[in-house]
Amino acid sequence: MAVIPENVKGAVDTDPWLEPFAEVLSERRYLADRWSYDIKHSTSDNSAQSLATFARKSYQAYGLHADPETKQIRYREWAPNAVRAFLVGEFNNWSTESHELKSKDAYGVFSITIPPLESGDFAIAHDSKLKILLVLPDGSHIYRLPAWITRATQPDKETARQFGPSYEARFWNPSVQYQFKNKRPAFERKTDSLRIYEAHVGISSPEPKVATYKEFTHTVLPRIRDLGYDAIQLMAIMEHAYYASFGYQVTNFFAVSSRYGTPEDLKELIDVAHGMGLLVLLDVVHSHASKNVDDGLNKFDGSDHQYFHSLASGRGEHPLWDSRLFNYGSFEVLRFLLSNLAFYIDVYQFDGFRFDGVTSMLYNHHGVGAGGAFSGNYNEYLSKEKSDVDHEALAFLMLANDLVHEILPDNGITIAEDVSGYPTLCLSRHIGGVGFDYRLAMALPDMWIKLIKEKSDDDWKMGDIVHNLVNRRHGEKVVAYAESHDQALVGDKTLAFWLMDAAMYTDMTLAKPLIPVVDRGIALHKLIRLITHTLGGEAYLNFEGNEFGHPEWLDFPNANNDDSYHYARRQFNLIEDPLLRYQHLNNFDKGMQNCERQFKWLNTPQAYVSLKHEVDKVIAFERNGLLFIFNFHPVESFADYRIGVEQPGCYKIILNSDRPEFGGHNRIDEPSSRFFTTDLRWNDRSNYIQVYIPTRTAIVLALAS
């Protein structure tokens, strides 16, 4: 038997199928560990520092920083291809001579310290515009927004007309900065549930406009809390010049989107969320960057390979996203991206991150074409000869997880958006894994959409549904979700839209009789979400509006729709109208979240599925002492239906999708429904109960004691 390298022994013990690939795993971990060692000993005196200290010192050293005591302003920028550098802006009338940065050091870093004015004030006014002017080896001049700028804004119409639409860098130094009042909510990642509400601030209003941080704080946060979620995942926060990119074409990595308000407004949002007991996660985009030159990182110092792989290498741009790809093997790129994470944790008090585009990062083929057809065979990921894994990107992700968990050891959360199923992605670093806490169960939304689009529900295979919901790697947690934000975009439809289509505009009113298509749609919408929630993972995610079956897609203002905001909004007003059925889906989502809060099934061992009846269309399973029963049959209800259960006793209903407040038909007499077990094996369980389970209904039961 081969000797398992000690640095991955824990991973192999968790998943014995990894044993033939232990050497490969060991080499990949060694690269990250070596980088970690080099970073920790990168001090001028070679003394050891933590990864967190390195990241924090970096964002505190680079960019613009105002000293409140001395009133000095320090500026530091890495631009190795430039020969000279000048800071220009409103503060010096855009002079190209008055504020030259010190000559670059051996690493290509320029710096300047600007003394206060004679009056004792800062030499650069708060929120004033500025740029860095770089002189290139051929004598040409280029203007750039500082790479570490913390505030960038859209130009006004007149400026945009004269000079173009590029964003403008601002020196953010308010005299009164927001002071956080609330502690981060406690979260035990090993045992606590994670119910995530994914939101985009800009679309979070019924009005056709860009909503603000303050509006989100006052109107949306209370909704999220009342629904029973315990975490928010904020999209499109990192500054992006193109609104319709959904926030995924980042131009300024340390600046938060100015469309929604100021940095202080975002701090208030997060602080208020913490006061409500809500964790706040950032949808962080380190997988690629916008190609914008004038207001982004692309060709920042005149070269095409400062932060990114060179274009000549064939690795410098994404084949589908029209964006630049980071060179994760560069020390300065590691500094930039790791410090970016520390910056958002420290300055804005984010509690963790959902890492976008992890599949693209992990593989040289970026999950595109034939390379993206993953079957789950371990050789696809771990073969020495055949795998196309980007070892440097993988090492960066390991360091990123190290950093988050070092700064937030008790409650820091990391989630990977990976569709490939890379083994060990969600095993802890100390046993040889990549270190993520969760991965998104990206196959689940695809399964539901495919079923609804291609098959009548009387042809749905219960076994296939269960298989897809439980098909995850042992020991690696996933975030289950029934539909993604991508499926809300123009070109696709939400689950509710696929189920009910035009009837959502004409027949969701209680003033009209319930028609079959709406009856079916509401019933299946609830069942799909509940079975995904209870069987599909160790955490759950919902995209805002989907909880109440938002009737329209997402379409951001662009040239194709005459820059309209009509579809770039969430119509929360629909659930406030007592005559509309949207309230029923909203009520059910609230009931589902609060039931989990009280009885707990997420973040517990995977369920035991005792029944997948293809004729009756019934699924039954137990998880954490609870019994879940689903009847997907379109027309058949069952009286005295026998369900196996392991633990004896008297069971009561704790959640019932057929309640009238959930848009159901109230066919179950809950107050008198008590189910006593019979001591006889059934479906490989020690006992059974007999229940009434109406058509297209789900019930959740718990021991009455």
Contact 668, 653 (CB under 8 A): yes
- Is 616 catalytic? The answer is no
**From CA 179, how far away is CA 212, in angstroms rounded?**
20
Q: What DSSP designation does 84 have?
A: E
**From CA 3, how far away is CA 123, in angstroms rounded?**
64
Tell me the residue length of the chain.
Answer: 705
Q: Report residue 195: phi and psi, to 5°.
A: -115, 110
How far is the CA of 507 from the CAs of 310, 452, 696, in angstroms? 56, 20, 20
Q: What DSSP designation does 671 have?
A: G
CB neighbour list of residue 431: distance below 8 Å, 6 or more residues apart: 8, 9, 10, 11, 13, 14
Query: Which amino acid, residue 232?
Result: I
Which of 356, 380, 547, 658 is labelled catalytic?
A: 356
By three-state DSSP, how is residue 645 classified? strand
- Is 127 catalytic? The answer is no
236: tokens are: 């499109």
Query: Which amino acid, residue 592?
Result: M
**From CA 177, how far away is CA 376, in angstroms rounded?**
50
By three-state DSSP, how is residue 429 classified? helix
Strands (E), 499-624: 539-543, 608-613, 618-623
Q: Which residues pair with 588 in a beta bridge?
A: none
By three-state DSSP, how is residue 315 classified? coil
Candidates 493, 481, 572; CA nearest to 528 is 481
31: tokens are: 């690269």
388: tokens are: 């196309």
Rg (CA), the chain: 27
Query: Which amino acid, residue 89?
Result: G
Place of tokens 């050293």: 61
Query: Which amino acid, residue 573?
Result: N
Contact 255, 150 (CB under 8 A): yes
**From CA 402, how far away is CA 419, in angstroms rounded?**
22
510: tokens are: 């209680």
Candidates 38, 8, 4, 3; CA nearest to 435 is 8
Query: Which amino acid, residue 666?
Result: N
Q: Which residues pair with 446 in a beta bridge?
A: none
Which of 168, 283, 301, 417 is labelled catalytic?
A: 417
Active site residues: 356, 417
